[in-house]
């Protein structure tokens, strides 16, 4: 096997999944993660259709099911906080739903014995030479790897270093999303609320056996300027935006003050013509970040499976393996980007009239004939990729 030593940037979903499959195929993996420890925040992520196959093949489906949210219906509220509809769990939770942080932990635990994990560091330069890639880091000394994979999300440093600045590939959606953990002050029992005022949305859901709640804020924001690393500034922005929004916002903003897992980002999309260049590849959000509704987590895991499998099938030849990887995942990545387009407008309608129309659409969607149609649409991106078998000597599933 050629190109045995592979460096992966990012230890969230795509990175550890790739490490798992590369290890099984006999490659040696190192994962470098910028955060000082595994990040356990994030909302629930769901799996539908073919996406379950990657969990099954990895042998992690039972473990994921043990951690599933078992979320029930969500109540849609009108602008005055009154019940305006009910969202059934099939709509929001797919076939299996798990908190992003729990999934990341499961993947980390499944790989930590065979993968070298380096936390609190980041790649600063990549120099491709004839027989590998020379890599420098913010803290660690320089090292050389055969191949490098960016699994480092929307703001991938590997993409920036090997493909060009993010601005070249980024399409703005003009919305932002913020999420954090709060006390379950309403005593929600595996349920949640969706609430909107013009231009701003709130999602509140119980989690972890109802001991806590997840809060999600979606809002319209054109030209919002802030420091991506300054969480206190992000909290101030959210406070200003939501302090007059009524309903349970005083309690949620009080919880935000104490939250230590705030995730704050714009709902942009990443569009690239190629996911690989020379000895460097991208997987997951780093390659085709789609935003909410784009099946991002399931696809990141499927694509990581494919990348490892194609490399192995090519005997480690990165030119052949990377080309096959691109051919396999391109259609599914495009389908995810298309499916997520416009999600912001649905999550945070601009006016009171638009909120009422959106709530009416929700109610229509949840009638029996349209629910079937919705489920077909929701599964389309998930089923745009069918996993092939990549035999692993001595390993059976
Ligand atoms: C803490 C967190 C919370 C999230 N919450 C949500 C959510 O609520 N809703 C939602 O839709 N999506 C959320 N996401 C994104 C979601 O996980 C992805 O869309 C999807 O799972 C695809 O995963 P990924 O591994 O490709 O990218 P990501 O999950 O974004 O992971 C990228 C990883 O790379 C790391 N990283 C970034 N820069 C560097 C660097 N320079 N060097 C090394 N490592 C780096 C990040 O810390 C992260 O661990 C969240 C991601 C994270 C990390």
Neighbouring C-beta atoms of residue 300, cutoff 10 Å? 30
Report residues whose beta carbon is within 6 angstroms of any ligand 1 atom: 9-15, 32-35, 39, 41-43, 100, 122, 151-153, 157, 179, 263, 284-286, 292, 296-297, 300
pLDDT of residue 94: 76
Q: Which atom of ligand 1 is nearest to the CA of 263?
A: 3
Most ligand 1 atoms within 8 A of CB, residue of 94, 122, 148, 152 to mutate: 152
Strand partners, 31: 8, 117
If you measure from the C-alpha of residue 220 to the centroid of ligand 1, how many angstroms do you get, rounded to a whole number?
A: 21
Q: Whose CA is nearest to atom 22 of ligand 1?
A: 297
Q: How far apart are the C-alpha atoms of 378 and 384, rounded to whole Å?
A: 11
- Assign 396 a pLDDT band (cuts: 50, 70, 90): low
pLDDT of residue 54: 96
Q: Is the pLDDT of residue 32 over 90?
A: yes
Q: Is the pLDDT of residue 42 over 70?
A: yes
> Phi/psi zone of residue 153: left (φ > 0), alpha (ψ -120 to 50 degrees), beta?
left
pLDDT of residue 397: 59
Ordered alpha helix ranges (H), the chain: 14-24, 51-58, 61-66, 89-93, 100-111, 157-162, 231-242, 249-258, 285-288, 296-313, 318-340, 343-347, 352-365, 368-382
Q: Whose CA is nearest to atom 16 of ligand 1?
A: 297
pTM summary value:
0.93
Closest CA to 152 of 20, 43, 300, 46: 300
* 231 burial level (CB within 10 Å; 0-12, 13-18, 19+): middle
Please tell me the number of Cα atoms within 13 Å of 159 on its side-chain side. Answer: 27
Q: How far apart are the C-alpha atoms of 368 and 42, rounded to whole Å?
A: 31
If you measure from the C-alpha of residue 373 to the centroid of ligand 1, how many angstroms do you get, rounded to a whole number?
A: 31
- Assign 56 a pLDDT band (cuts: 50, 70, 90): very high
Instruction: For 240-278, write each residue's pLDDT tens digit.
Output: 999 999 999 999 999 999 999 999 998 889 999 999 999
> Average pLDDT over the chain, rounded to whole?
93
Q: Whose CA is nearest to atom 6 of ligand 1?
A: 42
- Assign 173 a pLDDT band (cuts: 50, 70, 90): confident
DSSP class of residue 232 equals: H
Q: How far apart are the C-alpha atoms of 205 and 217, rounded to whole Å?
A: 12
CA-angle at 56, arms to 50 and 57, nearest 5°: 95
Most ligand 1 atoms within 8 A of CB, residue of 12, 154, 180, 294 to mutate: 12
- Assign 395 a pLDDT band (cuts: 50, 70, 90): low
**Mean of the pLDDT values across residues 14-25?**
98
- Angle at which helices 100-111 and 14-24 pack, to 10 degrees? 30
Looking at the chain, the whole-number percentage of residues with pLDDT higher than 90 is 76
Instruction: For 189-246, write each residue's pLDDT tens digit.
Output: 999 999 999 999 999 999 988 999 999 999 998 888 899 899 999 999 999 999 999 9
Instruction: For 277-334, write each residue's pLDDT tens digit.
Output: 999 999 999 999 998 777 799 999 999 999 999 999 999 999 999 999 999 999 999 9
If you measure from the C-alpha of residue 299 to the centroid of ligand 1, how many angstroms do you get, rounded to a whole number?
A: 13
pLDDT of residue 326: 98
- 369 against 195, higher pLDDT: 195
Distances (CA, A) of 102 to 44, 63, 69, 238, 335: 9, 10, 10, 26, 26
pLDDT of residue 304: 98
| Both structure tokens of 109 | 């635990």
Instruction: For 87-109, write each residue's pLDDT tens digit.
Output: 888 777 778 999 999 999 999 99
| Both structure tokens of 185 | 């002050």
Q: Is the pLDDT of residue 371 over 80?
A: no
Exposed e or buried b per residue across 180-206, where buried means at least 16 C-beta atoms within 10 angstroms of its C-beta = bbbebeeebeebbbbbbbebbbbbbbb
Q: How far apart are the C-alpha atoms of 319 and 324, rounded to whole Å?
A: 9
Q: Whose CA is nearest to atom 28 of ligand 1?
A: 153
Q: Whose CA is nearest to atom 20 of ligand 1?
A: 297
């Amino acid at each position: 096997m050629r190109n045995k030593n592979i460096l992966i940037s990012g230890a969230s979903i795509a990175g550890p999944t790739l490490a798992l499959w590369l290890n099984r195929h006999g490659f040696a993996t190192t994962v470098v993660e910028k955060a000082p420890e595994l990040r356990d925040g994030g909302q629930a992520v769901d799996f539908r259709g073919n996406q379950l196959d990657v969990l099954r093949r990895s042998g992690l489906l039972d473990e994921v099911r043990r951690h599933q949210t078992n979320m029930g219906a969500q109540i849609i509220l009108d602008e005055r906080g009154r019940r305006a509809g009910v969202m059934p769990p099939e709509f929001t939770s797919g076939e299996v739903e798990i908190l992003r942080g729990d999934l990341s932990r499961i993947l980390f635990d499944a790989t930590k014995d065979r993968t070298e994990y380096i936390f609190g560091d980041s790649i600063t330069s990549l120099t491709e030479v004839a027989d590998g890639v020379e890599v420098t880091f913010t803290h660690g000394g320089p090292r050389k790897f055969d191949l490098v994979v960016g699994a480092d999300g929307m703001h991938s440093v590997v993409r920036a270093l090997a493909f060009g600045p993010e601005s070249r590939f980024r399409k703005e959606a003009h919305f932002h999303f913020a999420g954090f953990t709060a006390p379950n002050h309403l005593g929600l029992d595996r349920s949640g609320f969706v609430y909107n005022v013009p231009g701003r949305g709130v999602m509140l859901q119980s989690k972890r056996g109802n001991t806590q709640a997840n809060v999600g804020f979606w809002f319209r924001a054109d030209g919002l300027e802030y420091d991506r690393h300054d969480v206190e500034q992000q909290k101030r922005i959210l406070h200003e935006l939501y302090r007059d929004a009524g309903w349970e916002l005083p309690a949620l903003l009080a919880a935000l003050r104490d939250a230590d897992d705030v995730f704050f980002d714009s709902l942009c999309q990443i569009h690239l013509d190629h996911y690989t260049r020379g000895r460097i590849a991208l997987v997951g959000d780093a390659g085709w970040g789609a935003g909410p509704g784009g099946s991002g987590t399931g696809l990141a895991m499927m694509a990581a499976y494919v990348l490892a499998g194609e490399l192995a099938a090519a005997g480690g030849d990165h030119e052949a393996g990377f080309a096959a990887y691109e051919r396999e995942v391109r259609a599914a990545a495009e389908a995810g980007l298309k499916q997520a387009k416009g999600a912001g407008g649905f999550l945070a309608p601009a006016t009171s009239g638009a909120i009422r129309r959106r709530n009416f659409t929700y109610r229509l969607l949840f009638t029996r004939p349209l629910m079937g149609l919705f489920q077909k649409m929701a599964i389309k991106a998930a089923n745009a990729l069918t996993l092939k078998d990549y035999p692993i000597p001595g390993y059976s599933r």
